[in-house]
Amino acid sequence: MITHAGLPRELNLAAWFVDRNVEEGSGGRTALIGPGGATTYAELAGLVNRCGNLLRELGVRAEERVLLVLGDSVEFVALWYGAQKIGAVTAEAYTFLQPKDYAYYIEYTDAKVVVADEATEPAIREVAAERQVLVVGEELRTRLQEVSAELEPAPTTKDDIALWKFTTGSTGQPKAAVHPVHSPVPCSGSARTTSCCRCRSSSSGTPAI
């Protein structure tokens, strides 16, 4: 168990969980297994960097929210860490909601960019108004090839805000529980994982990674 006091003051989740595996010689290890096969830590690191550069190109800056409304996939992981690497804040919403619900999440988070997939795109676009919508699929693959695979991590600290996790809204509208950068780290044990993650479908409508 890694305690808060034992963590360095400057801490970036993408650097901690992804880049360190590459730097420590584990770049060839499997990080994720999805429908398209295995993704190594080195491959994931490059994809994370491209996603971070693309989000930055779309105008996302440190501390601004990126709303992810898509199913479990390698792209979900890369976009999540890409947002973290540039110092942005990630928020997620269920994939089975109605347009009015997405309107609430978009307004609540004031997300600079909303990321959807083919399943959620129609409902998102119905309420996105002037918000930028990035769709996972051929559009994303094309745009990622146009940006660099190199990216320095933003100098976030362990007490900066990293993610918003929403309540279920069982007693009213969902509210965001705000988590700092250090929050996911103590339960991880180390920067390395003992096994890879498998990207799979989720009946709950949120990524099951």
Q: Is residue 204 part of a domain?
A: no
Q: pLDDT > 90: what percent of the chain? A: 80
| pLDDT (tens digit per residue) in 76-122 | 999 999 999 999 999 999 999 999 999 999 999 999 999 999 999 99
| pLDDT (tens digit per residue) in 163-180 | 999 998 788 899 999 999
Q: Is residue 195 part of a domain?
A: no
CB of 58 within 8 A of CB of 132? yes
The least confident of 54-58, 168-172, 193-197 is 193-197
Which domain range does residue 50 map to?
A: 13-188
Is the confidence at residue 181, as pLDDT, over 80? yes
Cβ-Cβ contacts under 8 Å for 159 (sequence gap 6 or more) = 180, 181, 182
Q: How far is Cα of residue 78 from the mean position of the Cα atoms in its chain?
A: 6
Is the confidence at residue 200, as pLDDT, over 50? no
pLDDT average, residue stretch 49-64: 98
pLDDT average, residue stretch 118-144: 96
More confident site: 97 or 199: 97
Please count the other Cβ atoms lying within 10 Å of the Cβ belonging to residue 79: 27
| pLDDT (tens digit per residue) in 4-20 | 888 999 999 999 999 99
Please count the other Cβ atoms lying within 10 Å of the Cβ belonging to residue 166: 18
Q: Is residue 203 part of a domain?
A: no
Is the confidence at residue 42, as pLDDT, over 50? yes
pTM of structure: 0.89
- Name the residue with tokens 């390698």: 74
Q: Is residue 75 part of a domain?
A: yes
pLDDT at residue 71, as a whole number: 94
Closest alpha carbon to 58 in 122, 128, 144, 121: 144
Q: Is residue 27 part of a domain?
A: yes
CB of 81 within 8 A of CB of 14? yes
Q: Is residue 68 part of a domain?
A: yes
Q: Is residue 8 part of a domain?
A: no
Q: Is residue 134 part of a domain?
A: yes
More confident site: 94 or 195: 94
Number of independent structural domains in the chain:
1
Residue 98's domain is classified under what CATH number? 3.40.50.12780
pLDDT at residue 190, as a whole number: 52
